[in-house]
Chains A and B, each alone.
Chain A
Amino acid sequence: MINKDKLDRVLKKVDRPARYIGMEINSVKKDFKDAKVKFVFSYPDIYEVGMSHLGLHILYNLINDREDYLCERVFCPWTDMEKAMREEKLPLYSLESKEEIINFDFLGFTLQYEMSYTNILNMLDLAHIPFLSKDRDEDFPLIIGGGPCAFNPEPLADFFDLFLIGEGEERTLDIIDIYKEHREKGYDKDEFLKTISRLEGVYVPKFYTTDYNEDGTIKSMTAIEGAPSIVKKNRVRDIENMYYHEKMIIPYIETVHDRVVFELFRGCTRGCRFCQAGMIYRPIRERSPQKLKEIAAKIVENTGYENISLSSLSSCDYSQLEFLIKDLVNEFEEKKVGVTLPSLRLDSFSIDILKELEKVRKSGLTFAPEAGSQRLRDVINKGVDEEDLIKAVSYAFKEGWSKIKLYFMIGLPTETDNDLIGIKELSYLVKELFFNRPKEEIRGSFKLTSSASCFVPKAFTPFQWIGQDSIEEFKRKIMLVKDSIKDRKITFNYHNPEVSYMEAIFARGDRRLSATLIRAFEKGCKFDGWGEHFKFETWLEALAETDIDGDFYALRKRELDEKLPWDFIDCGVSKKYLIKEYKRAIIGELTDDCRDNCNVCGIDNCEMRGVKSEI
Chain B
Amino acid sequence: MKFRIKFNKKNYLKYISHLDLMRLFERTFNRIDAPIEYSQGFNPKPKISIASPLSLGIESEEEWMDIELLEKVDEKDFIKNVNSILPSDIQILETEYIEDNTPIAALINWSVYEIYFLLLEDKKKIELENIIEDWLKQEEILIERYRKKGRNKILVTENIIELMKDIELKSLKNNEVVLKGKLKIGESGTLRPRDFINAFIADNNLNIDIDSISFKRISQII
Contacts and interface: CB of A to CB of B under 8 A. Distances in A.
Interface of A: 8-9, 11-13, 17-18, 20-25, 250, 252-254, 301, 303-306, 335-336
Contacts of A18: 15-17, 20
A85 B212 CA distance: 15
Contacts of B103: none
Given A21-B13, A21-B15, A8 B27 contact: no
Contact of B27 (A20, A21, A305): A305
A23 B27 contact: no
B56 A23 contact: no
A297 to B, nearest CB: 13
Contact of A304 (B16, B30, B44): B30
A253 B24 CA distance: 9
Nearest to A8: B214
A336 B39 CA distance: 14
Interface in B1-38: 12-13, 15-17, 20-21, 23-24, 27-28, 30-31
22 contacts: A8-B214, A11-B12, A11-B15, A12-B211, A13-B211, A17-B15, A17-B56, A17-B57, A18-B17, A18-B20, A25-B24, A25-B27, A25-B28, A25-B86, A250-B27, A252-B20, A252-B21, A253-B16, A254-B23, A304-B27, A306-B27, A336-B44
A335 B211 CA distance: 45
Contacts of A25: 24, 27-28, 85-87
B27 A9 contact: no
Given A11-B57, A18-B17, A252 B89 contact: no
Contacts of A335: 30
A23 B87 contact: yes
A303 B27 contact: yes
A302 to B, nearest CB: 8
Interface string B191-220: 000000000000000000001101000000
A335 B56 CA distance: 31
Contacts of B27: 25, 250, 303-306
Contacts of A252: 16, 20-21, 23-24
B156 to A, nearest CB: 26
A256 B17 CA distance: 18
B28 A304 contact: yes
A322 to B, nearest CB: 28
A253 B31 CA distance: 18
Nearest to A20: B15
B211 A24 contact: no
Nearest to A24: B87
A81 to B, nearest CB: 12
B42 to A, nearest CB: 10
Given A252-B20, A253-B20, A305-B27, A21 B12 contact: yes
Interface string B37-60: 000000010000000000011000
Nearest to B28: A304
Given A11-B15, A304-B30, A304-B85, 4 more contacts: A11-B57, A17-B57, A25-B87, A301-B31
Contacts of A250: 27
A193 to B, nearest CB: 37
A9 B212 contact: yes
A12 B214 contact: yes
Nearest to A10: B211
Interface residues of B, number: 23
B31 A304 contact: yes
Given A12-B214, A306-B30, A23 B89 contact: yes
Nearest to B32: A304
A477 to B, nearest CB: 42
Contacts of A301: 31
Report the 4 A-B pairs with minimum CB-CB distance, sorted nearest first.
A304-B31, A17-B15, A304-B27, A21-B12
A12 B57 contact: yes
Contacts of A304: 27-28, 30-31, 85
A283 to B, nearest CB: 37
A254 B56 CA distance: 16
Contacts of B20: 18, 252-254
Nearest to B31: A304
Contacts of B86: 25
B113 to A, nearest CB: 16
A305 B27 CA distance: 7
Contacts of A305: 27
Contacts of B12: 11, 21-23
A22 to B, nearest CB: 8
Contacts of A253: 16-17, 20
A87 to B, nearest CB: 10
Contacts of B212: 9
Nearest to B30: A304
Contacts of A17: 15, 56-57
Contacts of B24: 25, 252
Contacts of B44: 336
Interface string B47-90: 00000000011000000000000000000000000000111010
> Among A17, A303, A305, which residue has the most Cβ atoms of chain B within 10 A?
A17
Contacts of A8: 214
A335 B57 CA distance: 34
A13 B209 CA distance: 13
Contact of B31 (A9, A20, A21, A303): A303
> Among A23, A254, A305, which residue has the most Cβ atoms of chain B within 10 A?
A23
A203 B170 CA distance: 61
B43 to A, nearest CB: 10
B155 to A, nearest CB: 23
B37 to A, nearest CB: 13
Nearest to B21: A252
Contacts of A11: 12, 15, 57
Contacts of B211: 9, 12-13
B13 to A, nearest CB: 6
A183 B78 CA distance: 47
B171 to A, nearest CB: 18
A250 B28 CA distance: 11
A25 B31 CA distance: 12
B47 to A, nearest CB: 14
Contacts of B56: 17
Contacts of B87: 23-25
Contacts of A20: 15
A69 B212 CA distance: 37
A445 B218 CA distance: 51
A571 to B, nearest CB: 40
Contacts of A12: 57, 211, 214
Nearest to B20: A252
A414 B28 CA distance: 54
A303 B28 CA distance: 8
A206 B212 CA distance: 47
A252 B214 CA distance: 22
A253 B44 CA distance: 21
A474 to B, nearest CB: 40
Contacts of B30: 304, 306, 335
A21 B57 CA distance: 12
Nearest to A253: B20
A306 B30 CA distance: 9
Nearest to B19: A254
